[in-house]
Amino acid sequence: MSVIQIMPEFLCNRIAAGEVVQRPASVVKELIENSLDAGATEIIIQINDGGRELIRVIDNGTGMDQDDLLLAFEQHATSKLFHVDDLAEVKTLGFRGEALASIASVSRIEAKTCNNSRAEGFRLFMNGGKVDCLEGVAMKQGTSITVRNLFFNTPARKKFLKSTNAEYRHCVEIVRRFAISRPSVRFHFTADEREVYRLPPEDLSSRLRRIFSPRVMENCIAIHQEEPPLTLVGFMGARDLVRRKSGEQYFYVNGRLVTDRLMNSAVYSAYGASLDKGEFPFFVLFLTLPLKEVDVNVHPAKTEVKFKNEWIIYQFIRQSCEQALKHWLVETDRKETSLTSNFQEAEFQSLKTPALPRLEGEQLTFSDTSKNSEPQAGSKTSFEQPSMLSLDDRIRRFEKSISDEMFYSDEPHSITIERNFWQAHGKYIFTQISSGIVIIDQRAAHTRILYDRALKSLQQISASASQQLLFPISLELSPDDYSLLLEIIPSLEKLGFSMREFGKYTILLEAIPADLHWLEEGKVVMQILDDYKASRRLHNPISEKVANSYAERAAIRRGEIMTPAEMQRLTDELFQTDNPYMSPSGKPIIIQLTLNELKRRFEER
């Protein structure tokens, strides 16, 4: 007798059950999927003892006839997939045809179904995968599956179940996932006769409000981004909803909840550096894309999918989320600003009489140098600050920009800055706005300005102005750095660097961007190269990466003392950038303290 034999079917099913049915929650999942695939608009879920004793899912879907009912519990019996081509375009949640058979093999099942309005249904009892009895029954259209004594015949599996509470929580989580994905379906979920969810058909935001809490929705940012054939809709939490653990990230691909680390990281990266390591933002996102662009058949529990063009989708998600966040920042800012009663009035008055800079009298001098260098800037001894504009130039420019903002600009993000600047610790610029005060991180602000400027020059055809060097600098590179540098030389040249080959693995730097006269020429190139190297794993375009490294390296350092006029200019330029609130790497640039908040803090006991 040969050693190898074909396994009996019941054994096959039990083994398969090990994959598909790991715990009561898996049963709940499979049953709800079936209900939804059957077009149910109402689903009732009941569990007892964390699902060990009983799991019942009742729906008002299409139902089955007698033959189908029997077939449904056969391995690989499905109504959802008939042809190999169908696999490439799976529309339904289930398709493998193994769920019911697997569940049936490890439990006692009672299945009732009716596919007509005459209430002529059937009832099937099964025990450990074997049919006990099939009989007619009167019931409404739909299907009801009751799973009792799960794992009664696989003691090993049963032993590994966690406590009732833990299993209960898993079930809740499963129901929650489906409830989020189908807000138009009525869900009713009870556990040990206690109601957990009673969710009427509604839209996504009220569904989320019901499932989570009103507070969560208040801090959520709506996303709706279409870039045919891709669509991304949903909500992402503002920074208040950042959690220390993962678990509140819901990412649906064509209605199917999946866990995809890459796409999660796309969302995380949109938050940029405002997320620390080990922090996870809340989000509920629905990605819709052509069915053939995604393969769902990679995991038995179907929690993973494979995208054909994952980087395109990564970019799409990241950018959509970034935009939504940015938009939200601007909006909340406006809202907060308009909260103060005198704001509109102040705005209105400033429209009529553009305020002149009251620089001399009003500034708070904070450091000795600012006091010293101011009169100097005018007389221009040119020793202390060689490359700076005269004060008059700056005031003129600032006035112009202010009047620009007030009269011509319909940009959403123009806070009217009143000209009172002072600098703390050589790091932060404080200034007053009508609704309170803002604190600007000077380095982050400058990084944003340089980044935007760099991106702009990178898009231009001609290179930026570049200051030729009297003493060209030779850079000796390792072979891999050398090849990497060759990769970014075209971008660097557009920024205003100029270099040429000078022997093996040596580059001669002959010119630097004309607006960067304070930099250490050779070092900055090497630093940009290092940053670029470190960012190689990121998948944004070269220009973004180069612009980012460049901005990071060329920005003024923390600790650099600035004159009030310089601070004005920086603030002024900052508000002309695309996103004055967040640095390219995602760090916040501006913190606002509203008068209300200050007041509240002072009045707190």
Partner 1 sequence: MKFTVSKNDLYQSLQKVSKVTPVRSTLPILSCILMTTKKDSLCLRSTDLEITMETYCNADIIEEGSIAVPGRIILDIAAELPETDLTFFIKDETIEIKTPLGGEYKIAGRSSSEFSAAPLIDDSTTILFSAEKFQRIVDKTIFSVSHNEMRGALNGVLFQFSKNQLRGVATDGHKLVQLTYENFKNNTLERDIIIPVKFLNVSVSNLQKTGDVRFKVGKNHVMLETEESIIYTRIIEERFPDYESVIPIKNPNKVLVDIDDFLSSVKRISIFANKNTHQIALTFSENKVILSAEDIETASTAKEELPIIYEGEPMTIGYNAEYLKDVFRHLDGDKAKIYLNTPLSAGLFYPEEQKEEEHLLILLMPIRL
Q: Is 378 in the site for partner 1 (CB under 8 A)?
A: no
- What's the rounded Cα separation, in Å, for the pair 300 and 256? 14
Q: What is the CA radius of gyration of the chain?
A: 32
Q: Is 400 in the site for partner 1 (CB under 8 A)?
A: yes
Of 156 and 470, the one with the shorter C-beta distance to partner 1 is: 470
Q: Is 383 in the site for partner 1 (CB under 8 A)?
A: yes
**Binding partner 1 by CB under 8 A: which of 88, 136, 520, 557?**
520
Provide the token pair at 155: 């003691």
| Touching partner 1, residues 441-470 (CB under 8 A) | 453, 463-470
Q: What are phi and psi of 417, to 5 degrees?
A: -95, 125
List alpha helices for 187-342, DSSP H: 204-211, 214-218, 261-271, 310-339
Q: Is 387 in the site for partner 1 (CB under 8 A)?
A: yes
| Touching partner 1, residues 566-595 (CB under 8 A) | 569
CB of 521 to partner 1, least distance (A): 7
Q: How many Cβ atoms from other residues are within 10 Å of residue 357's Cβ?
A: 18
CB of 368 to partner 1, least distance (A): 5
Q: Which window, 6-14, 140-148, 187-195, 511-519, contacts partner 1 (CB under 8 A)?
A: 511-519
Q: Are 285 and 317 in contact (CB under 8 A)?
A: yes
**Binding partner 1 by CB under 8 A: which of 54, 389, 484, 556?**
389
CB of 543 to partner 1, least distance (A): 19
- What's the rounded Cα separation, in Å, for the pair 99 and 40? 18
Q: Is 246 in the site for partner 1 (CB under 8 A)?
A: no
Q: Are 33 and 93 in contact (CB under 8 A)?
A: yes
Of 323 and 467, the one with the shorter C-beta distance to partner 1 is: 467
Tell me, residue by residue from 465 to 504, as one string, x for binding to partner 1 by CB under 8 A and - for no binding.
xxxxxxx------------------------x-x------
CB of 526 to partner 1, least distance (A): 13
- Count of residues touching partner 1 (by CB under 8 A): 33
CB of 372 to partner 1, least distance (A): 8
**Binding partner 1 by CB under 8 A: which of 169, 397, 427, 587?**
397
Q: Are 548 and 531 in contact (CB under 8 A)?
A: yes
Of 157 and 380, the one with the shorter C-beta distance to partner 1 is: 380
| Touching partner 1, residues 10-69 (CB under 8 A) | none
Q: Is 368 in the site for partner 1 (CB under 8 A)?
A: yes
Q: Are 578 and 572 in contact (CB under 8 A)?
A: no
Q: Is 382 in the site for partner 1 (CB under 8 A)?
A: yes
Three-state SS letters, 519-584: CCHHHHHHHHHHHHHHCCCCCCCHHHHHHHHHHHHHCCCCCCCCCHHHHHHHHHHHCCCCCCCECC
CB of 533 to partner 1, least distance (A): 23
- What's the rounded Cα separation, in Å, for the pair 397 and 48? 73
Q: Are 525 and 513 in contact (CB under 8 A)?
A: no
Of 205 and 369, the one with the shorter C-beta distance to partner 1 is: 369
Q: Is 393 in the site for partner 1 (CB under 8 A)?
A: yes
Q: Are 398 and 572 in contact (CB under 8 A)?
A: yes
Q: Is 1 in the site for partner 1 (CB under 8 A)?
A: no
**Binding partner 1 by CB under 8 A: which of 306, 358, 517, 557?**
517
Q: Long-range contacts: 451-455, Cβ < 8 Å, 24+? A: 451/547, 451/548, 451/550, 451/551, 451/577, 451/583, 451/584, 452/577, 452/578, 453/515, 454/495, 454/546, 454/547, 454/550, 454/551, 455/543, 455/544, 455/547
User: Where do contacts with partner 1 occur on this chain (CB under 8 A)?
Assistant: 368-369, 382-383, 386-387, 389, 393, 397, 400, 453, 463-471, 496, 498, 511, 513-515, 517-521, 523, 569
